[in-house]
Amino acid sequence: MSHRVADELGYKDMDNISAASSRHNSENLPYVHKVGVPPKQNLLKEIAGTVKETFFADDPLRQFKDQPRSRKLVLVFQALFPIFEWGRNYSLSKFKGDLIAGLTIASLCIPQDIGYAKLANLDPQYGLYSSFVPPLIYAFMGSSRDIAIGPVAVVSLLLGTLLQNEIDPSENPVDYLRLAFTATFFAGITQFTLGFFRLGFLIDFLSHAAIVGFMAGAAITIALQQLKETDIVSVMRSAWSAAHHGWNWETILIGMSFLAFLLVAKYIQGKKKKKLFWVPAIAPLISVVLSTFFVYITRADKHGVQIVKHIRRGINPSSLNEIFFSGEYLAQGFRIGVLAGMIALTEAVAIGRTFASMKDYQLDGNKEMVALGTMNVVSSMTSCYVATGSFSRSAVNYMAGCNTAASNIVMSSVVLLTLELITPLFKYTPNAILASIIISVVISLVDIEAMTLIWKIDKFDFVACMGAFFGVVFSSVEIGLLIAVSISFAKILLQVTRPRTAVLGKIPRTTVYRNILQYPAATKVPGILIVRVDSAIYFSNSNYVKERILRWLADEEEQLKESSRPGVQYLIVEMSPVTDIDTSGIHAMEELFRSLEKRDVKLVLANPGPVVVDKLHASKFHEMIGEDRIFLTVEDAIVTCAPKMDLEP
């Protein structure tokens, strides 16, 4: 009731203004600007402009302009290998920061790598291999100063799950390993291709909300896998069965006590004690040393405590001949590699952009993809599996004061020494401590704060987040990922096919027209309905836009009839948000024009953009509607149309 009274008061106010303006002669009206028609573009130039904005929006060749040929060659070399650019200004002070950061992340990565290899159903040395070669390649080709490269939990889980679906690692370990190298090769090819052809925008189709849900679901699944199960139903069944047959108390003691130690180490650092970043960073290595020593002196392995047993000594052997370039497993390797490569790429680019924004430098996403792709292709030939940027290690790298990618070289050197000298010492490392390290790491992947924010901002995004989460937890990684992508695409389709529209009113004491739902004080103009379309008008939504505008008109006419006020004489479509219109959109506008004519309502357009104006003229729609019905602003349209209306009751 109060809304209707306010609405009527608004109409009375606007009635007085319009009646006063109608008494002026046309000579006294303010000057109304005409809508400019852009010059006709050459077709080839138009196509070239579209291609440039799609694939080269960052203008990557701008640094080559007006440079001599010799300088251009140097710039090309530096673009391919950024180390030769930042290396020119490298100093001892920078090295000190990189040395401390590299040693810190090495202490974190060594126990993690052994555990992550376990997630991928691979022998422990392959996790260490993947923190030796890939970081070296990335240090030369990557443009991020902060990313720490190596195996990560989510990709390791994804690979382990998908590879196991094709080959049982216990029955056929040789072909399983070869398929892992094949998947790594195609993951690298996928990443390199996306970067080389500047198709990085494709990874943006996996929304942030879907990634949050997928990561949280993967974290739960990883934790369950430490109990030898892959979903909640199975782990409950397994726990019930084990309760009848007894648990190994030594294993439980080791796992729970060191998990508590790792969680306390994380808590000590906290958000306000970043100077203690080294505490959770070295905690995993301390846990491995202490638990290994405990098992060795007590010989707990003789009492049912499972241990690592053997890690092959020495650096990565060649695996070029192990990759399936033909045969029955080629297609499976390609499919798994593409999926793993996309997930790894999404994680690495997100991490790189995060830390680049924190240090205020630019990160070339396509260059990053080329670097990561090259890195994984080389890795597949040197007995590594898919490596990418690790968030936990990158955060430690950042807080430890890294200055350049040289911290990756330091980390790689420490892993090399470990492979050559220290691996025999890991023989008595209990599997329980590796499970504890993995669980402590993946707990941070369940981002409750991010989920809460998603719920507050966009409920549809929250549906995508939860769909991915429950898909991974209750079914499988592939199903969860499929649900996440499907819901993300569904959201895009919904937004494209059902764009928002709004009725506009005039903000008091201004010439500004805004959504009356957002600004309740905005008043409608008597006899005029102003509608704004908040999207390009394409074949997918043109019919909906036309029908929605007619529904707005029908609702308005019904309200006016109930209050015994004059009907709508002009319908103004505010087109500033309409970035483009296609043939179907033009046809929809023509049908709208005819429908309005039958209702004795005149169609008026306000502020169409250059692309829209060009297409309106090309289709002769401006002749149908009349050149005098296209205005630069809504205010111009109101000033012109209001004096022409018969406002008598």
List, in sequence order, every beta strand (DSSP E) within 39-134: none
For the residues 247-252, what does the mean pLDDT come to?
76
For the residues 2-28, what does the mean pLDDT come to?
44
In a domain, 48, yes or no: no
Cβ atoms of 92 and 275 closer than 8 Å = no
Instruction: Tell me the percentage of the chain whose pLDDT exceeds 90.
Output: 50
Please report which confidence band the pLDDT of residue 286 belongs to, taking 50, 70 and 90 as the band edges: very high
Examine the pLDDT at 42 and tell me if it is beyond 80: no
Residues 463 and 592 in one domain: no
Nearest-angstrom CA–CA distance, 532 and 159: 48
Residues 516 and 451 in one domain: no
Helix (H) or strand (E) holding 631: strand 630-631
Average pLDDT of the chain is 85
For the residues 146-154, what does the mean pLDDT come to?
94
Nearest-angstrom CA–CA distance, 66 and 483: 49
Please report which confidence band the pLDDT of residue 410 belongs to, taking 50, 70 and 90 as the band edges: very high
In a domain, 473, yes or no: yes
pLDDT reported for residue 582: 94
Examine the pLDDT at 525 and tell me if it is beyond 70: yes
DSSP 522: -
Nearest-angstrom CA–CA distance, 453 and 445: 15
Residues 245 and 178 in one domain: yes
- Residue at token pair 């309740």: 520
Cβ atoms of 317 and 164 closer than 8 Å = no
Main-chain dihedrals φ then ψ at residue 504, nearest 5 degrees:
-105, 150
pLDDT reported for residue 269: 67
In a domain, 50, yes or no: no
Write the single-letter amino acid at 473: V
In a domain, 45, yes or no: no
Final residue of a structural domain among 465, 493, 521: 493
Taking each helix axis from N to C end, the angle separating 431-442 and 92-119, rounded to the nearest 10 degrees, works out to 110
Final residue of a structural domain among 457, 477, 493: 493
Examine the pLDDT at 16 and tell me if it is beyond 90: no
Beta bridge partners of residue 537, listed in sequence order: 581
Residues 482 and 503 in one domain: no
Question: 312-332, pLDDT tens digit by residue?
Answer: 999 999 999 999 999 889 999
Please report which confidence band the pLDDT of residue 266 belongs to, taking 50, 70 and 90 as the band edges: confident
In a domain, 71, yes or no: no
For the residues 497-517, what does the mean pLDDT come to?
93
Nearest-angstrom CA–CA distance, 260 and 439: 11
pLDDT reported for residue 242: 43
List the CATH number of the domain containing 514: 3.30.750.24
Contacts of 289 (CB under 8 A, 6+ apart): none
pLDDT reported for residue 493: 86
For the residues 25-34, what does the mean pLDDT come to?
60
Beta bridge partners of residue 150, listed in sequence order: 388
Residues 17 and 138 in one domain: no
Number of domains into which the chain is organized: 2
Helix (H) or strand (E) holding 160: helix 153-166
Over its C-alpha atoms, the chain yields an Rg (Å, rounded) of 32
Question: 267-279, pLDDT tens digit by residue?
Answer: 876 655 667 778 8
Final residue of a structural domain among 430, 465, 493: 493
Nearest-angstrom CA–CA distance, 144 and 357: 11
pLDDT reported for residue 194: 92
Please report which confidence band the pLDDT of residue 149 belongs to, taking 50, 70 and 90 as the band edges: very high
pLDDT reported for residue 346: 86
Nearest-angstrom CA–CA distance, 53 and 117: 42
For the residues 80-84, what does the mean pLDDT come to?
90
Residues 289 and 361 in one domain: yes
Examine the pLDDT at 280 and tell me if it is beyond 70: yes
Please report which confidence band the pLDDT of residue 73 belongs to, taking 50, 70 and 90 as the band edges: confident
pLDDT reported for residue 210: 84
For the residues of 258-300, what is the DSSP string, one character each?
HHHHHHHHHHHHTTT-GGGTHHHHHHHHHHHHHHHHHHHHHTG
**Residue 598 exposed, middle or buried by CB count within 10 Å (0-12, 13-18, 19+):** exposed
Domain of residue 16 covers 9-34+498-644
Residues 369 and 387 in one domain: yes
Examine the pLDDT at 646 and tell me if it is beyond 70: no
For the residues 7-18, what does the mean pLDDT come to?
44
pTM of the model: 0.78
For the residues 530-545, what does the mean pLDDT come to?
94
| 9 vs 425, higher pLDDT | 425
Q: What angle do CA 301, 306, 312 make, to 5 degrees?
A: 100
Question: 102-143, pLDDT tens digit by residue?
Answer: 999 999 999 999 999 988 999 999 999 999 999 999 999 998
pLDDT reported for residue 4: 44
Residues 478 and 542 in one domain: no
In a domain, 130, yes or no: yes
For the residues 471-498, what does the mean pLDDT come to?
83
Residues 475 and 504 in one domain: no
In a domain, 63, yes or no: no
For the residues 386-403, what does the mean pLDDT come to?
91
144: number of CA atoms within 13 Å, CB side? Answer: 33
Residues 27 and 113 in one domain: no
| 227 vs 276, higher pLDDT | 276
Cβ atoms of 437 and 114 closer than 8 Å = no
Cβ atoms of 281 and 108 closer than 8 Å = yes
Nearest-angstrom CA–CA distance, 488 and 451: 16
In a domain, 74, yes or no: no
Examine the pLDDT at 455 and tell me if it is beyond 80: yes
pLDDT reported for residue 319: 96
Examine the pLDDT at 372 and tell me if it is beyond 60: yes
For the residues 35-62, what does the mean pLDDT come to?
71
Please report which confidence band the pLDDT of residue 25 belongs to, taking 50, 70 and 90 as the band edges: very low
pLDDT reported for residue 443: 84
Question: 204-216, pLDDT tens digit by residue?
Answer: 667 788 888 988 8
Cβ atoms of 525 and 638 closer than 8 Å = yes
pLDDT reported for residue 577: 94
Residues 558 and 578 in one domain: yes
pLDDT reported for residue 600: 93
Please report which confidence band the pLDDT of residue 5 belongs to, taking 50, 70 and 90 as the band edges: very low
Residues 505 and 472 in one domain: no
